[in-house]
Amino acid sequence: MSEFLTAYGLFLAKTVTWVAAVAIVVLLLAVLIRAARGGSAGGERLEVRNLNERYEDLADMIRDQTLSEAEHKQLLKDRKRSERERRKAARSHADDGKPRVYALQFRGDLQASAVESLREEISAVLQVARPGRDEVLLRLDSEGGMVHGYGLAASQLARLRSAGIHLTVAVDKVAASGGYLMACVADRILAAPFAIVGSIGVVAQLPNFNRLLKRLDVDYELHTAGDFKRTLTLFGENTEAGREKFQAEIEETHTLFKRFVGEYRPKLDIARVATGEHWFGSQALELQLVDQLQTSDDYLLARTRDAELYGLRFRRRQPLAQRLSDGLVKLGLGLRRSVEETALSQRYP
């Protein structure tokens, strides 16, 4: 039995090795082919998707199975008539067409790295959106992060308001700390009932290894010009004056945070909500942190009746080396998971 298991293990190892080798070659070829095809200048492109058509396609999948042949024919006739009327109105310039809603998405991380795409998307929208008529819907999902990153993201959203473009932010999961710093810029904030909202506060922490270095007889030198060029350090000996300055800087940042939120949402009781706490959507509505309980899906679906919806996404092509690295990491994780599952299946038949 042991000989069989040994032989089977060797066979499995060889198989996994061959599969990994073939997958790596296929991945390399795919990346090289995509790179050769190129794209827009600098590997950048803005994807635009008609969301009205997407929702209609989803509904048609059900209609194809539920409508009778006569009902389906009538539906097609109604659509053709509506399309003719729309084209006739456009030719006669009787109106400026339906309002447009541009749907963007921001998934935050510690550095607010998605701001690099957000700034391009907003720059594109500002060139075509009609002030007082069109709208931007931002689907926001962020737990916050670095002050300067989220400050820039909030400033990008403020560009829309300055241009007279109505901004709606929808929070389906979380908009906390830096995420709420962005959300508060909106003309209107929507939130799902159990979305996490708020956390208007500032936090900073770091370990200090100075005592450990002393026990190991390791000297650490830090030279600065200026009393507070460095307040707290990882390896040096921190002083009370440094701690006090560090705390003062945190308090100053918190004051700026509260002032910014109060500027865009003047009806808020800042003293009540700027404690660093977070609330669920239904509680946030009572505190006026949000304006309405609604998911982004319900909002967009409702707007299909009176507006043209467009989903925008700016993509920047990563360097070839980075794409290869990311692909190999994903491949390695997938192979490891496969081997682990195979091993478990042998142990627990």
Helices 115-128 + 147-162 axis angle, to 10: 10
Name the catalytic one among 177, 214, 282, 338: 177
Q: Is the dihedral of CA 163, 168, 172, 175 positive or negative?
A: positive
90 sits in the region (left: phi over 0; alpha: psi -120 to 50; else beta) called: alpha
Q: Give ∠ CA 343-344-349 in degrees, rounded to 5.
A: 110
Query: Is-contact 148 253, C-beta < 8 A?
Result: no
Q: What 3-state class would DSSP assign to 164? A: coil
Interacting residues of 2 by C-beta distance below 8 A, sequence separation 6+:
none
CA trace torsion 340, 342, 348, 349 (10° rounding): 170
Dihedrals φ, ψ of 145, to 5°?
Answer: 170, -140
Catalytic site includes residue 177: yes
Task: Judge contact between 170 and 292, C-beta under 8 A.
Answer: no
Q: Which of 205, 186, 187, 203 is nearest to 143 (CA)?
A: 203
Residue 254 and residue 248: Cα distance in Å, rounded? 10
Tokens at 327, concatenated:
């692909």
* Catalytic residue of the set 2, 92, 229, 267: 229
DSSP state of 41: G
For the four alpha carbons of 264, 269, 270 and 276, in that order, the dihedral sign comes to negative
CA–CA gap between residue 155 and residue 237 (Å, rounded): 38
- The β-bridge relationship of strands 188-191 and 135-142 is unpaired
Positions annotated as catalytic residues are 177, 229
